[in-house]
Amino acid sequence: MNGVYPTKYYDERGLDVDKFDGKYFSYYAYMQAVELSKLERSSGGTVESVRIQKDELVQEEAKVIRIRGSKMTRVAAAAPSANKVFDVVEEMPQFVGGTGSDAGQFLDKVQVRENMNETAFFYPALESDNNGNVAIRFTLPESVTTWKFMGLAHDKEMRNGLLVEEAVAQKTVMVQPNMPRFLREGDKSTIVVKLFNTSDKKVSGNTRMQILDPETNKVVWQKTQNYSIDAEGSATISFDVQGLKEGVYINKVVAAGNGYSDGEQHYLPVLSNRELVVNTLPITLHQKGEQNFDLSKLFLNKEGKQAKGVEDAKVTVEYTNNPSWLMVKALPAISNPDEEDAISLMSAIYANTITTHIQKNLSLDNHSQKNLSQESIRLQNQVEKLKKLQNPNGSFSWWKGMKGSRYMTTSVAEMMVRLNAIAGVQKSTARMLTSAIDYLSWQTAQEVREMKKQEEKKQKVSPSEQALHYLYILSMDGRKMKQNLEQDKAYLLDKMSKMTGDFSIYGKARAAVVLARNSQQNAAYREKAGEYLQSVNEYAVYREEMGRYYDTRKALYSWRNYKIPTQVSVIEALQMLKPNDKQTIEELQRWLLMSKRTQVWDTPVNTVDAVYAFMKGNESNWSRKAENAVLKLDGKLLPMPQDSTTLGYVKTEKTGKASKLSIDKKSDYTAGEPSMQSLSSLSAKSVPWSRASRCAVSSFLPNLRVRARRRRR
């Protein structure tokens, strides 16, 4: 399935057409059947008297469109036509442009436009009265633009008519300010206002921009300029604005001349010139005892100098005794899938079953019976949906309506046996698992027959990857198979034990688990499993912070899953063959947990695999409560709030700069996250909006994150 883009199949009702009518496929044909006979516009934006008459179109002269905000409005009469254009002119008292007090008083009286909506109204369903009339009432927005009225009418016999009319709302002089989305404190900005002259003569007058406090309506800034615009022309006026403090202001622009005026009003947000900066120091501890860490780097700016405002900085320390829970916190992301494919549903069943299992066995303090009941209902619904994707032959379809897939059936069955290994045999999925194994056995039997035919022709054969997964499922499930199927299994195991150089790192780790679980049939299998595991360990590299991992392309499972399946398989092989090698297992788990903070687990399978690697053989650690570590900042003991019983998580903060952090770790299972947070001023060469270095914590090692917060000026 690798490299195949996911697709979905939808059930759609087929077309049932007896004949095609040409008029339904032509725009102009709509006007030939039934048309709107009458359209009257009245004061206040009311459209009345829409009557359907067959094969008849009567259009009457428009009356009035009133633009809200204008005191006196007259509408130029338009000749009857299919597309009426209404010239809306606002009549104002006579005024001669100037810059004195008279001009200012007159500009104060100009009423501004605020409602700039692009849609006046939309009514999806209108019903006429007994006379066939429809009344429509609406408020026209205040934008000076061309408005298009579109109406579609039909009767019970689906005879229909379409009406399209246009009305132009305009003034002699119109203002259009080019408003910024926001400003910052200290910005020196230029706001450009464009003026339009729609008349056939040159006009002149005054334009003014005001910035007001919306709470007090007090003018905090204003400026007036003269303008002169040629006939049917336009002009631009620039206003330089500066000195505004943080807040939300009203920006009002008005223009007036001899017998006309216009204005617009908008909100202008002014944001703070400081940003929140988070600097994080990841600390990983492995040994008990006291260790000291220098925190001075957290309070430096990007030039490496002491940052300003460190007095208001805040140091946050997050600490947990049992960071294994951070892995379990990944389960809710897949517990309620957005899609209903087989992989997503089985992953959700896995996550919800694990959650319920933990709640029942650990008796969490915040656990409620009501939540458990809701999870049980959700789990039951997901199981029922998954059952619908299983076909009569036992195979699973990826999506509903698709054919059964060996790959998909293997993936679902593998999650089922792993779930049984952690939470016990699940009755809800037992029958589905049995049917899936029967289907996979049939597929594998066909493969074995084909392999034997090739051997008779003296050709070299080896099991496929799907056959390897099949053997893994059988070894995890442990059920007895029919004699012929047991023979096929033995045949594949024998071939697997001889494939030393043919496996990838993932294949060797998986083969080691399969051979070790079947060592009762052949003692040599366990020895071979040890050889595979030894070969796997030779590829591993180790870094104290990252843990043990595989820095080679041979560890890649696929283009999408990176190295997570390989890491999980190696952990499982070590737990099976060398359960006492706790250090190596913990080092491998450390890399897996570190990858969670640097990579996105964008497939539910990766999340399920990672949780399995942590929970298998590690169940006793979930309820462990270790002694808290002692943390000091500059020699002063940090007060630790009362932590929860199981999670052991606490968080504490300290205001002001800190130079040294001391940690006295009392146990092998300590972790925390100290950090610094601050506010930073913004400039042309300032740091990005946020700067943070995240750090994950684990169940087997202490990990501390130092976060400092400050405001940079």
DSSP string over 451-513: HHHHHHTT------HHHHHHHHHHHHH-----HHHHHHHHHHHHHHTT-TTT--HHHHHHHHH
- pLDDT at residue 135, rounded to an integer: 82
Runs of H (alpha helix) within 200-341:
325-328, 332-335
Ranges 74-83, 88-97, 237-246, most confident: 237-246
Q: Summarize the confidence of residues 394-413 as an average pLDDT.
A: 95
Residue type, 20: F
pLDDT score of 329: 74
What is residue 659's predicted lDDT score, i.e. its pLDDT? 82
Predicted confidence at residue 73, as pLDDT, reads 34
Task: Specify the pLDDT at position 286.
Answer: 67
Burial 135-162 (b: 16+ CB within 10 A, else e): ebeeebbbbbeebebebebeeeeeebbb
Most confident of 79-93, 112-126, 299-313: 112-126
Query: Global pTM?
Result: 0.59
Phi-psi region of 364 (alpha: psi -120 to 50; beta: other; left: phi over 0): beta
Question: At a CB cut-off of 8 Å and minimum separation 6, what does 112 contact?
Answer: 69, 252, 253, 254, 263, 264, 265
How far is Cα 684 from Cα 677, in angstroms, rounded to an integer?
Answer: 22
For residue 401, how many C-alpha atoms fall within 13 Å in the half-sphere facing its CB?
7
pLDDT tens for each residue of 127-170: 888 888 888 887 788 888 888 988 888 888 899 989 898 888 88
* 257-272: average pLDDT: 91
DSSP per-residue letters across 133-188: ---EE----S--SEEEEEEEEE-TT--EEEEEEEEE---SEEEEEE--S-EETT--
Q: Which pLDDT score is estimated for 31?
A: 36
User: What separation in angstroms does the CA of 363 have from each of 82, 316, 332, 372?
Assistant: 76, 30, 19, 11
Does 381 score more than 50 pLDDT? yes
Stretch 465-476: mean pLDDT: 93
Q: Residue 392: its pLDDT value, please?
A: 95
Using CA atoms, how far residue 554 sits from 114, 510, 559, 596, in Å, is 64, 14, 12, 21
Give Dmax over CA atoms of the chain in angstroms. 110
For residue 160, the surrounding DSSP H or E stretch is: strand 160-168
Measured CA to CA in angstroms, residue 447 lies from 396, 454, 458, 470 at distances of 19, 11, 17, 12
546-591: pLDDT as tens digits: 889 888 776 665 545 568 888 899 999 999 999 999 889 988 988 8
CA atoms within 13 A on the CB side of 669: 19
Task: Grade residue 240 by pLDDT with cuts at 50, 70 and 90.
Answer: very high
> In terms of residues, how long is the chain?
713
CA angle 192, 251, 245 (to 5 degrees): 100
Residue 538 has pLDDT above 80, yes or no: yes
> In 3-state terms, what secondary structure has residue 145?
coil
For residues 87 and 76, the answer to whether their CB atoms sit within 8 Å is yes
User: What per-residue confidence (pLDDT) applies to 544?
Assistant: 82
Give the residue with greater pLDDT, 470 vs 648. 470
User: Model confidence at 364, in pLDDT bands (50, 70, 90)?
Assistant: low
| pLDDT at residue 86 tops 80 | no
Cα–Cα distance measured from residue 429 to residue 423, given in angstroms and rounded to the nearest whole number = 13
Tokens representing 202 are: 């040159």
Residue 518, SS3 per DSSP: coil
The pLDDT assigned to 144 comes to: 84
Q: Nearest CA to 317 among 672, 18, 73?
A: 672
Helical pair 342-362 and 604-615, crossing angle rounded to 10 deg: 30
Q: Tokens at residue 72, please?
A: 């006196």
Q: 329: buried, middle or exposed (CB in 10 Å: 19+, 13-18, 0-12)?
A: exposed
At residue 595 the predicted structure's pLDDT band, cuts being 50, 70 and 90, is: confident
Quickly state the pLDDT bin for 644 (edges 50, 70, 90). Answer: low
| All structural domains of the chain | 22-97+104-168 (no CATH), 173-271 (2.60.40.10), 274-322+625-711 (no CATH), 505-617 (no CATH)
Is residue 11's pLDDT more than 80? no
Q: Is the pLDDT of residue 517 over 90?
A: yes
For the cut 50, the answer to whether the pLDDT of residue 624 exceeds it is: yes
Q: List the single range of 14-18, 336-340, 417-421 with lowest mean pLDDT.
A: 14-18
Q: Which two tokens stand for residue 444?
A: 């594998």
Query: CA geometry: angle at 664 spanning 660 and 670, to 5°?
Result: 110
Strands 173-178 and 189-197: antiparallel
**What is the average per-residue pLDDT within 456-481?**
91
Which residue shows structure tokens 């560890």? 555
Least confident of 163-172, 340-349, 397-406: 163-172
Say yes or no to pLDDT of 260 above 60.
yes
Residue 705, pLDDT > 70, answer no
Mean pLDDT confidence for 499-515:
86
The mean pLDDT value for 628-657 works out to 72
21-45 pLDDT, tens digit each: 444 444 343 333 333 333 333 333 3
Strand 136-137 relative to strand 88-90, pairing: unpaired
Q: Which of the two residues, 346 and 690, has the higher pLDDT score?
A: 346
CA distance 676 to 678: 7
Nearest-angstrom CA–CA distance, 227 and 339: 61
Beta-carbon contacts of 442 under 8 Å, excluding residues fewer than 6 positions away, are 393
- Residue 17's pLDDT is what? 45
Q: Residue 1 pLDDT more than 50?
A: no
pLDDT 10s digits, 297-340: 887 777 777 777 677 778 877 766 665 666 777 788 888 888 89
Per-residue pLDDT for 676 more than 70? Answer: no
Q: What are phi and psi of 583, to 5 degrees?
A: -60, -50
Pairing type for strands 703-711 and 671-681 reads parallel
Arithmetic mean of pLDDT over the chain: 75
DSSP element (H, E) containing 343:
helix 342-362
Average pLDDT on 230-247 reads 93
Q: From CA 588, how far away is CA 610, in angstroms rounded?
A: 11
% of the chain beyond a pLDDT of 70: 70
Residue whose token pair is 């002009």: 235
Q: Are 492 and 522 in contact (CB under 8 A)?
A: no
Neighbours of 130 (CB within 10 A): 5
414: tokens are 């593998």
Single-letter residue type at 685? K
Nearest-angstrom CA–CA distance, 650 and 85: 70
Question: Would you state the structure tokens that stand for residue 591, as one six-digit string?
Answer: 């890399």
Whole-number pLDDT of residue 571: 93
| Backbone φ and ψ of 74, nearest 5° | -130, 145
What the block records as the tokens of 222 is: 């204003």
Question: What pLDDT is attached to residue 323?
Answer: 59
Over its C-alpha atoms, the chain yields an Rg (Å, rounded) of 38
Cα three-residue angle 234-237-239, rounded to 5 degrees? 160
422-465, pLDDT tens digit by residue?
A: 888 999 999 999 999 999 999 999 999 999 999 999 898 889 88
Q: How far apart are CA 446 and CA 549, in angstroms?
A: 37
